[in-house]
């Protein structure tokens, strides 16, 4: 099952109690699914078609509860193109005209007069704005699997409808974009945070949890990757710095012989040469007794000084005591 299917399944079960919201949802579902057709005179064919039965049942119950209209649910077998079985809620012609008037979907005069968006008052309350977007998503929405990418969209049949969806989302401070694509007007969000806000607004709480968990996992693994890159670049820097000291050590060995060095410097020379990737503190731990960073640094500097003196032809002397 896709994430989209899960979200639709959840949204189809969100309870709508008030008739204001029921009106807004039905108007949105009818317009978004392109389910209103003019049949001449004052006759209209009204239906809602969806790929999942739960969505169709949702509107079947809503019609019955609030308007006492008994629709009929039909199974439409898949067409040759995509083979998807669809479910269609058909409203009898006798009920259709009155319902459309009730939902404000008819323009006053026109025979064709089906509006592309309901009048403003249908989506006036904030509860009704949510309902409007919820139905639009149920009819023509998609959300990508957050494991792969962040994208949610509603592909509306008209620009006016898409604009209303956008206004409703923006009312709740959810930023979204609108674009035209293959005859549809698409409202979309690509930010994980925005998708999460939209799903939570519509009532898909379980989907929000799934999305947030995936987001956290991605952030953690992103952080781990950055930390690994950071560690690697530190190692590179240590190795680079170690490189010049190792050259000095090799030079001392060739010109003087490491066995001539006092014990403390000799041990440090071997430790550095054998462990070019070790940090100063890691080198210090190899010493017996262990040595702090500044102690390690002092001995390495001393090795470099010795090498420089040898290069300059200077005599190198060590104190009598083996330091």
Residue 177 · residue 220 · CB < 8 Å = no
Q: Quick one: how far is CA 76 from the chain centroid?
A: 35
- The DSSP secondary-structure symbol of 85 reads -
Ramachandran angles phi, psi of 274, nearest 5°: -85, -15
- What is the four-CA torsion angle of 78, 79, 83, 87, rounded to 10 degrees? -30
Q: Which stretches does DSSP call E strand in the chain? A: 36-38, 44-50, 72-76, 86-91, 141-143, 152-156, 177-181, 184-189
Question: Binding residues for Zn ion, how many (CB under 5 A)?
Answer: 6
| Interaction between residue 125 and Zn ion (CB under 5 A) | yes
- Window contacting Zn ion (CB under 5 A); options: 19-27, 170-178, 284-292, 310-318: 19-27
| Interaction between residue 316 and Zn ion (CB under 5 A) | no
- Window contacting Zn ion (CB under 5 A); options: 12-20, 159-167, 192-200, 276-284: 12-20
Residue 120 Cβ vs Zn ion, minimum distance, rounded to whole Å:
13
- Window contacting Zn ion (CB under 5 A); options: 16-24, 91-99, 102-110, 173-181: 16-24
What span, in angstroms and rounded, lies between the C-alpha atoms of 178 and 116? 17
Decide whether 121 or 147 has the Cβ nearer to Zn ion.
121
Chosen residue from 21, 89, 162, 208 binding Zn ion by CB under 5 A: 21
Question: Residue 30's closest CA among 112, 100, 82?
Answer: 100
Query: What Rg do the C-alpha atoms of the chain give, in angstroms?
Result: 36
Chosen residue from 114, 127, 235, 258 binding Zn ion by CB under 5 A: 127
Decide whether 129 or 266 has the Cβ nearer to Zn ion.
129
Decide whether 128 or 195 has the Cβ nearer to Zn ion.
128
- The DSSP secondary-structure symbol of 79 reads P
Decide whether 90 or 127 has the Cβ nearer to Zn ion.
127
Decide whether 18 or 147 has the Cβ nearer to Zn ion.
18
| Interaction between residue 16 and Zn ion (CB under 5 A) | no
Decide whether 3 or 132 has the Cβ nearer to Zn ion.
132
| Site for Zn ion, rule CB under 5 A | 18, 20-21, 125, 127-128
């Amino acid at each position: 099952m896709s994430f989209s299917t899960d979200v639709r399944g959840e949204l189809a079960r969100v309870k709508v109690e008030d008739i204001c919201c029921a009106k807004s949802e039905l108007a949105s579902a009818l317009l978004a699914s392109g389910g209103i057709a003019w049949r001449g005179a004052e006759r209209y064919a009204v239906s809602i078609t969806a790929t999942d039965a739960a969505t169709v049942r949702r509107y079947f119950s809503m019609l019955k509860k609030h308007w006492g209209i008994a629709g009929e649910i039909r199974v439409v077998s898949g067409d040759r193109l995509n083979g998807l079985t669809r479910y269609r809620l058909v409203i009898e012609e006798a009920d259709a005209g009155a319902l459309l008037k009730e939902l404000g979907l008819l323009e006053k005069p026109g025979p064709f007069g089906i509006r592309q968006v309901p009048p403003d008052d249908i989506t006036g309350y904030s509860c009704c704005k949510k309902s409007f977007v919820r139905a639009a998503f149920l009819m023509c929405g998609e959300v990508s699997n957050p494991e792969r990418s962040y994208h949610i969209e509603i592909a509306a049949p008209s620009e006016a409808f898409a604009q209303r969806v956008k206004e409703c989302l923006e009312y709740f401070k959810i930023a979204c974009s609108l674009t035209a694509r293959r005859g549809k007007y698409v409202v979309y969000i690509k930010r994980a945070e925005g998708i999460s806000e939209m799903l939570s607004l519509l009532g898909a709480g379980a989907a929000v949890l799934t999305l947030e968990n995936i987001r956290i996992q991605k952030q953690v693994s992103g952080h781990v990757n950055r930390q690994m890159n950071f560690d690697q670049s530190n190692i590179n820097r240590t190795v680079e710095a170690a490189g010049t000291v190792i050259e000095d050590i090799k030079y001392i060995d060739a010109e003087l012989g490491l066995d001539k060095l006092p014990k403390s410097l000799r041990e440090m020379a071997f430790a550095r040469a054998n462990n070019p990737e070790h940090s100063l503190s890691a080198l210090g731990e190899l010493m017996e007794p262990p040595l702090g960073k500044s102690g390690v640094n002092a001995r390495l500097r001393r090795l470099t000084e010795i090498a420089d003196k040898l290069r300059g032809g200077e005599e190198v002397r060590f104190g009598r005591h083996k330091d």
